[in-house]
């Protein structure tokens, strides 16, 4: 299937934006190669109009932050899009004519992250003019989201999208004293998926996963990955649980696991890190803490754990 057909198919399925398989990503890929492609330009405009329509629906539902995230995302891609003035006017009217304040922008960043709209979240973050010490948590959330995206796109075999996400991660301070270690963890997990893709041999049938990502979906695959995650988490086999959660992430359009599943895994990693630190295993504690950071940077106890680990030499 050609890129244009893939873009139109994604658009027809309602997958407008959010990952490398979305209509917007496909149209943009065409335009990177052929900037004057009229069909791709028109297709992208239609997709952006659809995103703005979603913004209007968010406003009607009272979701100001979500609407702002979508509007800013479109503005970053096509600032002269014909639908933008009406969308901005609707937002201003909804807010009583008061410009969106920093709190709304911060809420919009989190809303975009939650929906897998990381470029939109990054655009909003880059526009913040008053970063505060309290925004360290926001930085960690965005950095961890980009880290997860880099891993999932490596799993999907989308090397360019994976590298884009990794570059975004590198441009951010992950908010801990172990930035290099966190990036090394991400690189290791990306490399592991490249190895699995090359060999497709393991105790889990990864070949089924890779086939599903090529459009040969199996109805039982998502259920199998769920069972893999639940069983591994219950037995504290965390490496396997994390791997299966990455696979689950790759099977959904937003390219990220559900927040509840990520929080469950991170909670166990925090406990493991605490136990290792108590035994004097600093390196092991760092590794577990970094994994907790990857899955849920807001996990209870993680900030204090990093503060204590900051006094432990690696």
Pairwise pLDDT comparison (155 vs 108), residue with the higher score: 155
Pick the more confident residue, 130 or 213.
Answer: 213
Mean pLDDT of the 279-303 span? 92
The predicted pLDDT at position 312 comes to: 56
Q: Are 102 and 125 in contact (CB under 8 A)?
A: no
What pLDDT is recorded for position 204?
A: 56
State the pLDDT at residue 266. Answer: 96
Is residue 205 scored above 80 in pLDDT?
no
Of the listed ranges 75-89, 221-235, 242-256, the least confidently predicted one is 75-89
pLDDT for residue 92? 76
The arithmetic mean of pLDDT across residues 179-192, rounded, is 91
Computed over every residue of the chain, the mean pLDDT equals 85
Assessment of whether the complete model's pTM goes beyond 0.85: no
Tell me what the mean pLDDT of segment 96-120 comes to: 76
Output the pLDDT for position 101: 62
Tokens representing residue 43 in the block: 């297709």
Q: In 208-229, which positions are buried (b, 16+ CB within 10 angstroms) versus exposed (e)?
A: bbbebbeeeeeeebeebbeebb
Closest by CA to 190, choosing from 162, 160, 232, 225, is: 162
Mean pLDDT calculated for residue range 259-287:
94
Q: Answer yes or no: is pLDDT of 207 > 90.
A: no
| pLDDT surpassing 80 at residue 167 | yes
Q: Please classify residue 1 by burial: count the beta carbons closer than 10 Å to its beta carbon, then call 0-12 exposed, 13-18 middle and 19+ buried.
A: exposed
Quote the pLDDT of residue 209: 84
Instruction: Please state the rounded mean pLDDT for residues 173-184.
Output: 71
Separation of alpha carbons 122 and 108, rounded Å? 11
More confident call, 172 vs 247:
247
Higher pLDDT, 220 or 194: 194
- The whole-angstrom separation of Cα 100 and Cα 91 is 9
Whether the pLDDT of residue 107 is over 60: the answer is: yes
**Comparing 88 with 311, which gets the higher pLDDT?**
88
Whether the pLDDT of residue 265 is over 80: the answer is yes
């Amino acid at each position: 299937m050609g890129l244009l057909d893939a873009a139109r198919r994604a658009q027809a399925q309602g997958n407008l934006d959010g990952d490398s398989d979305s209509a917007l990503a496909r149209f943009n890929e065409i335009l990177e190669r052929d900037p004057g492609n009229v069909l791709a330009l028109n297709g992208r405009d239609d997709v952006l109009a659809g995103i703005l329509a979603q913004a209007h629906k968010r406003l009607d539902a009272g979701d100001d932050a979500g609407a702002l995230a979508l509007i800013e995302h479109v503005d970053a891609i096509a600032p002269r899009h014909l639908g933008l003035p009406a969308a901005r006017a609707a937002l201003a009217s909804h807010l009583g004519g008061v410009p969106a304040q920093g709190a709304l922008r911060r809420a919009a960043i989190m809303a975009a992250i939650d929906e897998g709209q990381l470029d939109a979240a990054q655009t909003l973050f880059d526009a913040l003019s008053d970063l505060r010490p309290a925004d360290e948590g926001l930085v960690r959330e965005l950095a961890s989201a980009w880290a997860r995206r880099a891993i999932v796109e490596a799993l999907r075999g989308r090397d360019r999208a994976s590298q884009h996400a990794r570059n975004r991660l590198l441009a951010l301070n992950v908010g801990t004293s172990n930035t290099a270690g966190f990036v090394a963890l991400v690189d290791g997990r990306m490399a592991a998926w490249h190895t699995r893709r090359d060999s497709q041999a393991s105790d889990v049938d990864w070949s089924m996963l890779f086939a599903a990502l090529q459009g040969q979906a199996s109805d039982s695959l998502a259920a199998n990955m769920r069972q893999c995650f639940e069983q591994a988490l219950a037995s504290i086999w965390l490496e396997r649980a994390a791997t299966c959660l990455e696979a689950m992430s790759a099977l959904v359009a937003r390219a990220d696991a559900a927040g509840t599943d990520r929080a469950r895994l991170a909670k166990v990693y925090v406990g493991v890190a605490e136990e290792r630190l108590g035994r004097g295993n600093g390196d092991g504690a760092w590794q577990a803490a970094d994994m907790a950071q990857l899955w849920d940077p807001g996990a209870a106890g993680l900030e204090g754990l990093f503060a204590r680990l900051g006094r432990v030499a690696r």
